[in-house]
Amino acid sequence: MQQFKLILSFFLLVFFPFRNAHSQNEINQLFQNDDILSLKLSYSNKDIQRKTNDSTYIETDLYYKDENSQWLNFPVALRARGNFRRNKCYFPPIKMKIKKSSSKETLFEGNKKLKLVLPCKLESDLNDNIIKEYLAYKIYEVVSPYHFKTKIVDIQFREIKGKKSKDHNLKGFLIQDDKRVAKYHEGKVFERFIHPLAMDAETSIQNAMFQFMIGNTDFSVAYQHNGKLLYIDKKILPLPYDFDMSGLVNASYSVANETLGIDRVTQRVYRGFKRDESELNKIRNQFIDNKEKILGIISKHENLFDNEKEYKEAYTFIESFYNIIENESTFKSEIVNEARIK
C-alpha cells in the first residue's frame, strides 16, 4: 500500500503540478442565495430527446425574472443528458451551454455550462420528487465543503408539439458545472479512474455515509457513476450528484439494486469501503453534531411541497438514519461491518 501511495503521489505531481494561481473565493452570483428563481423555456421534448447528443444541441431563449420582477432573456443551447432519465422520463434532464457574450451582465454571467433537473413524469408528485432531490444536494452542503451549488427554480415551460403547444408549470433546479466547483477550491477535475481507497479518507466516508443516509445505491466512485472526482491540495475527492434513485426521493420509477439484497430503494445499504474504525466514528460524530442543521434543511423547505405527506415521509426517512447511527449496535452492524473490501 505504501508503494502504491508513492506511485500515486508521483502521478499527481506529473499531471497536476500546480494549484490554480487565481483563487475563486466568491460564490457565483446565481448561487449566492436560496431564493427561488423564475424561468421561462420553450422547446420540443421530442426534438431534445431525439436530435441532441454530447455534441449536438438545440437553441432557444432562456427567460428569467430579475430582482425588479422584469423578464430578461438571452440565447442558450440545450441537450438531453443522463442515461436512465433521458430514456424513461417525459421531461429529460437538461445540459445547458451559455456563450460568455450572451450572459454578460446577467444573473448567469460566469456560467458557461449548467445542468437543469426537471420532474421525470407527468404524475401528481412530480414537483415533490424534485424538491426531495434538491434537499439531498442542500444536505450535502452541510456534510462536505466539496459540493455542487444548486438553485431552485419555478419554470413556465412551453412544450412545442408540432403546430401546437402545451404549457407546464414545473419545479426544477440548476446545478453548477463541475469545473466551477474545482475552480472555487483552486483545484481541478480529475478524469482518470482510480481505486476508492486511494481517495481522501475523510471525504470518501462523508460521501458514503451521506449516500447511506439518503438511501442511495445508484453510484460508483470507482467508475465515476453519478459522481465526479476533484484534485485539491494533493488529494482526490469524490463529488456526488444525481440522487433521484434514492430512498429519500422514492420516485415511482426508481429501481432497487437487487444484487445488494434489497427490493425497495428505501432499504439502506452502506457502500463505502473499509476504513479505520476511528475514521468512521469521526464522520459519524460529524453527522450527529449536524443533526439539527440537516433536519432543519428539510423543515425549512416544507412550504415547497405540494403534498404534506411527501414532506413528512422525507423528514421521517432522514430521522430513521439517525436512529441507526446514534445507536452503537446498529451503527456497527449496518455500517462498520458492512464496509466493502472490494
DSSP letter for each residue of 65-107? E-TTS-EEEEEEEEEE--SHHHHH-SS--EEEE--HHHHTTST
Q: Let me know whether 213 and 231 are in one domain.
A: yes
DSSP 330: H
* 205: CB partners within 8 A, 6+ apart: 272, 275, 279, 280, 282, 283
Does 22 score more than 50 pLDDT?
A: no
DSSP 225: B
C-alpha to C-alpha distance for 308 and 302, rounded to whole angstroms: 8
Which residue did the predictor score with more confidence, 16 or 236? 236
Give residue 259's pLDDT band: very low, low, confident or very high (50, 70, 90): very high
186 touches 232 (CB < 8 A) = yes
Quick one: average pLDDT of 175-179?
97
Which residues on neighbouring strands pair with residue 150, listed in sequence order?
A: 175
- Provide the number of structural domains found in the chain: 2
Helix (H) or strand (E) holding 177: none
C-alpha to C-alpha distance for 248 and 216, rounded to whole angstroms: 8
Specify the pLDDT at position 84. Answer: 80
Residues of the chain above pLDDT 90, percent:
87
Residue 217 inside a domain? The answer is: yes
Quick one: average pLDDT of 26-37?
89
Q: Let me know whether 271 and 204 are in one domain.
A: yes
Give residue 82's pLDDT band: very low, low, confident or very high (50, 70, 90): confident
Specify the pLDDT at position 313. Answer: 98
Quick one: average pLDDT of 204-230?
97
- What is the chain's mean pLDDT, rounded? 92
Residue 289 inside a domain? The answer is: yes
Three-state DSSP state, 202:
helix
Helix (H) or strand (E) holding 302: none
Residue 272 inside a domain? The answer is: yes
Q: Let me know whether 211 and 307 are in one domain.
A: yes
Q: Give CA 275 to chain center in angstroms.
A: 25
Quick one: average pLDDT of 281-287?
98
Residues of the chain above pLDDT 70, percent:
92
C-alpha to C-alpha distance for 172 and 35, rounded to whole angstroms: 13
C-alpha to C-alpha distance for 39 and 170, rounded to whole angstroms: 10
Give residue 158's pLDDT band: very low, low, confident or very high (50, 70, 90): very high
Lowest mean pLDDT of 10-14, 145-149, 153-157, 201-205, name the range: 10-14
Give residue 2's pLDDT band: very low, low, confident or very high (50, 70, 90): low
Residue 170 inside a domain? The answer is: yes
Specify the pLDDT at position 124. Answer: 79
Domain termination residue (choose one: 160, 178, 196): 178
Q: Let me know whether 194 and 163 are in one domain.
A: no
Residue 130 inside a domain? The answer is: no
Specify the pLDDT at position 86. Answer: 81
38 touches 154 (CB < 8 A) = yes
Specify the pLDDT at position 166. Answer: 96
Q: Let me know whether 71 and 164 are in one domain.
A: yes
Quick one: average pLDDT of 335-339?
97
Q: Let me know whether 45 and 165 are in one domain.
A: yes
Residue 38 inside a domain? The answer is: yes
Specify the pLDDT at position 119. Answer: 95
Residue 17 inside a domain? The answer is: no
Nearest to 28 by CA among 173, 181, 257, 235: 181
Residue 122 inside a domain? The answer is: no
248 touches 214 (CB < 8 A) = yes
Which strand ranges, in their side-by-side order, compose the sheet holding 235-240? 188-190, 227-232, 235-240
Three-state DSSP state, 33:
coil
Q: Let me know whether 84 and 161 are in one domain.
A: yes
Does 85 score more than 90 pLDDT?
A: no
Domain range for 228 is: 186-336
178 touches 147 (CB < 8 A) = no
Give residue 18's pLDDT band: very low, low, confident or very high (50, 70, 90): very low
Q: Let me know whether 73 and 157 are in one domain.
A: yes
Which residues on neighbouring strands pair with residue 220, listed in sequence order?
A: 225
Specify the pLDDT at position 19. Answer: 46
Q: Let me know whether 210 and 310 are in one domain.
A: yes
Q: Let me know whether 240 and 301 are in one domain.
A: yes
Q: Let me know whether 254 and 168 are in one domain.
A: no
Give residue 23's pLDDT band: very low, low, confident or very high (50, 70, 90): very low
pLDDT digits (tens, 9 = 90+) for 90-149: 999 999 999 999 999 999 999 999 999 999 988 878 899 999 999 999 999 999 999 999
Give residue 12's pLDDT band: very low, low, confident or very high (50, 70, 90): low
pLDDT digits (tens, 9 = 90+) for 39-78: 999 999 999 999 999 999 999 999 999 999 999 999 999 9
Specify the pLDDT at position 342. Answer: 87
C-alpha to C-alpha distance for 114 and 175, rounded to whole angstroms: 6
Q: Let me know whether 174 and 96 are in one domain.
A: yes
